[in-house]
């Protein structure tokens, strides 16, 4: 099976193919969207590419490592999932993975941990993985799968390259995308007046504020992905690239946290004027913080 057989965007497919061929896949990947069995199959395909012995055509499907992957018997590929459907991913499992990551591989130079249904992790489980995801040992790879990146902590998202299967993203209207991109452009310009002008049209529509905040959060995640060598949502890719070029990782992460916090305030029906004031203040604070 090749990456072309998966419902991926052209950008994500080219990214995986190129990185697999050169054995430069990111050490932490998050696969979101699509059907559960498709996510599982893609995770195993990527794992096979990581351990494949072919230096130019990974996964080749014919080397000893690929054959072990196909049979589900590769000793350096471990798959973890919640014990039951929709059950929580236990923190003890994440701690065990963190400890095992420092054990030398059995059959090669790499180890791969596939964590299925990561959306079922609670905050404790995700936090237990944070340090190891931020600084994984050499040759250790993590592939997380989930329904949607929205279910994951921003701290985890900032450490992973996100690859999206068909149906992963929220469908935003053209007006919402345009409003979110105007705010992002204002942040890149570094102009407080431009930012105020970009948020002004939202004063009369509370629902649109929520939509724009959700879209902004995706833009910041996409920008973090671009910085890690990934590809963001095709509809907002140019703006994500601008953000990635203009703002360092720490500031993008701060802006993402601000957008997520403001989105929660909007969902609690906070005052519209206070929301917009907070939007301008918190985003400016995030990108100006040293």
Q: What is the pLDDT of residues 187-196, one digit of tens each?
A: 888 888 888 8
pLDDT (0 to 100) of residue 270: 64
Local confidence band at 266 (pLDDT 50, 70, 90 cut-offs):
confident
Residue 68 pLDDT class (50, 70, 90 cuts): very high
Least confident of 2-11, 55-64, 95-104, 186-195: 2-11
**Of 167 and 153, more confident:** 153
Residue 234 pLDDT level (bands cut at 50, 70, 90): low
**Can you read off the two tokens belonging to residue 240?**
């994500």
Contact 119, 148 (CB under 8 A): yes
Res 78: pLDDT? 95
**Which range among 55-59, 116-120, 166-170, 189-193 shows the weakest confidence by mean pLDDT?**
166-170
Banded pLDDT at 231 (limits 50, 70, 90): low
């Amino acid at each position: 099976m090749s990456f072309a057989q998966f419902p991926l965007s052209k950008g994500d497919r080219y990214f995986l193919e190129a990185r697999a061929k050169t054995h430069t896949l990111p050490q932490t990947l998050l696969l979101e969207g699509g059907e559960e069995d498709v996510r599982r199959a893609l995770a195993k395909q990527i794992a096979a590419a990581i351990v494949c012995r072919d230096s130019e055509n990974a996964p080749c499907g014919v080397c000893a490592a690929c054959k072990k992957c196909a049979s589900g018997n590769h000793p350096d590929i471990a798959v973890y999932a919640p014990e039951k459907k929709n059950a929580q991913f236990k923190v003890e499992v994440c701690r065990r993975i963190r400890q095992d990551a420092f054990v030398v591989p059995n059959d090669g130079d790499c180890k791969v941990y596939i964590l299925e249904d990561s959306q079922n992790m609670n905050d404790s489980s995700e936090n237990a993985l944070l340090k190891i995801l931020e600084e994984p040992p050499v040759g250790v790879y993590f592939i997380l799968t989930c329904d949607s990146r929205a279910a994951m902590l921003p701290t985890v998202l900032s450490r992973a390259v996100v690859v999206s299967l068909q149906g992963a993203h929220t469908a935003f209207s053209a007006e919402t995308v345009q409003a979110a991109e105007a705010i992002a452009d204002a942040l890149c310009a570094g102009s407080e007046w431009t930012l105020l002008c970009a948020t002004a049209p939202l004063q009369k529509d509370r629902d649109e504020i929520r939509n724009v905040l959700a879209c902004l959060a995706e833009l910041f995640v996409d920008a973090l992905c671009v910085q890690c060598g990934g590809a963001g949502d095709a509809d907002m890719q140019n703006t994500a690239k601008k953000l990635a070029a203009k703002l360092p990782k720490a500031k993008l992460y701060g802006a993402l946290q601000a957008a997520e916090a403001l989105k929660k305030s909007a969902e609690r029906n906070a005052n519209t004027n206070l929301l917009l004031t907070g939007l301008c203040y918190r985003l400016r604070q995030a990108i100006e913080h040293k």
